[in-house]
Structure 1
Amino acid sequence: MKEKLNHLKNYTKFLMVTEAIVYGNLEDIVMKNGIWYQKQGVHRMTNTMMKKLFMHGNVKL
Structure 2
Amino acid sequence: MVTLPLGTYFFTVRWVFPGRTTPAGALAALMANVVLISYVIMAFKDDQAEQAEEAEKQKKAL
Higher helix share: 2
Higher strand share: 1
Return the TM-score normalized by structure 2: 0.39
Higher Rg: 2
Return the TM-score normalized by structure 1: 0.39
